[in-house]
Amino acid sequence: MTGWAVELTGVTKTYRTGPIEVPALRGISLRIAHGEFLAIAGSSGCGKTTLLNIIGGLDRADSGEVLLEGHDVRLLSSGGLARLRLQRLGFVFQAYNLLPVLTALENAEFTLLLQGVPARQRRERVLKLFSEIGLNGLEDRRPGELSGGQQQRVAVARAMVTEPALILADEPTANLDSVTATALLEVMEQLNRAHGTTFVYATHDPQVMERAHRLIRLHDGRITSDVEHARLAG
């Protein structure tokens, strides 16, 4: 186990569609410490989501080394990667990706279910989290009965409820109004402060960039800047 939550060295990724090759990442090297609150920003197609996917083991790099919580993801099977994600990672997607047939509470507790946590504990932990992020009273609603903001909060609850070491969030506030987005970010910041959970965002949202402790900018698959946020760094 290294001291880094994430360690990338010379990571490349190219998408191929027939004869067409589109380089997405061109030799990314990056270290993310435990407890960081980090945003990756850049224009559409710059490689943010690809970088997030490779960090989270959802996709494999063509070359380079990816260490996640000290585990070399190249050596892990798809099952091993899934297990690592379940135990150590949380994901928040732009499109929420809730299971339409489950209630809000069942969606949020789904990762705990996969971990084998008993039903009563699952429910207690989810209800506590729901209370913190303003989802009280919505436990039994299906995703189709929730607003976009409410759905995203359920997705955040699903990612947070296992108290993972690292949460990867791909444009989490893109579909939220500013008030809801602010509330969400505050909850995430609170979790980051209280539990030392590492947050990595791929984002366009200035509010997220402003709140991030560290901001990495990508352009054409390369890191063009990597700065500590002045407000927090100071």
Partner 1 sequence: MIASLLRLAWRNLWYNPGRTLIAMTAIGFGYTMLLFVACLMAGLRQQMIESGTELLLSDIEVHAPDYYPDRPVQLTLGGRKGTEVSALVATIAADPRVRAASPRAYAYGLVSATHQSAGAELLGVVPDTEQKISVLPTRMVKGSYLTGQMPKGIVMGDALATTIGVEVGSEIVVLTPAADGSMGNDLYSVAGLFHTGLESMDRGLVVMPLASLQELLRLAPGRFHEVGIKLHDITGAMGTAGALEAQLSKTFPVRVMAWPELAPELDDYIQFNRRVTFILFFIFYLLAAMGIVNTMLMALIERTREFGMLMAVGMRPIEVIGLIMAEATSLAVASLVLGAGLGIPVLWYLQVHGLRLGGDGNTVSLAGIVVGPLWYGRQDFTAYSQAALGLAVTALASALYPALRAARLRPAEALRKV
Instruction: Report the interface residues with partner 1, using CB under 8 A.
Output: 50, 53, 56, 58-59, 78-79, 82-83, 85-87, 89-91, 93, 95, 97, 99-102, 110-111, 113-116, 158-159
Q: How far apart are CA 221 and CA 234, in angstroms?
A: 29
Minimum distance, C-beta of residue 210 to partner 1, in the bound complex (Å): 27
Strand pairing class (63-68; 4-17): antiparallel
Smaller CB distance to partner 1: residue 172 or 215? 172
* 50, β-bridge pairs: none
Smaller CB distance to partner 1: residue 97 or 131? 97
Smaller CB distance to partner 1: residue 59 or 62? 59
Instruction: Show the tokens assigned to 134.
Output: 């303003």
- According to the 3-state scheme, what is the secondary structure of 52-86? HHHHCCCCCCCEEEEEECCEEHHHCCHHHHHHHHH
Minimum distance, C-beta of residue 134 to partner 1, in the bound complex (Å): 22
Count of alpha carbons within 13 angstroms of residue 34, beta-carbon side: 12
Q: How far apart are CA 111 and CA 82, in angstroms?
A: 11
Count of alpha carbons within 13 angstroms of residue 98, beta-carbon side: 29
Minimum distance, C-beta of residue 97 to partner 1, in the bound complex (Å): 4
Smaller CB distance to partner 1: residue 68 or 215? 68
Q: Tally the residues of the chain.
A: 234
Minimum distance, C-beta of residue 66 to partner 1, in the bound complex (Å): 13
Minimum distance, C-beta of residue 60 to partner 1, in the bound complex (Å): 8
* Residue 115, number of CB atoms within 10 A of its CB: 14
Smaller CB distance to partner 1: residue 93 or 182? 93
Count of alpha carbons within 13 angstroms of residue 15, beta-carbon side: 11
Instruction: Show the tokens assigned to 45.
Output: 């197609």
Smaller CB distance to partner 1: residue 142 or 204? 142
Minimum distance, C-beta of residue 104 to partner 1, in the bound complex (Å): 14
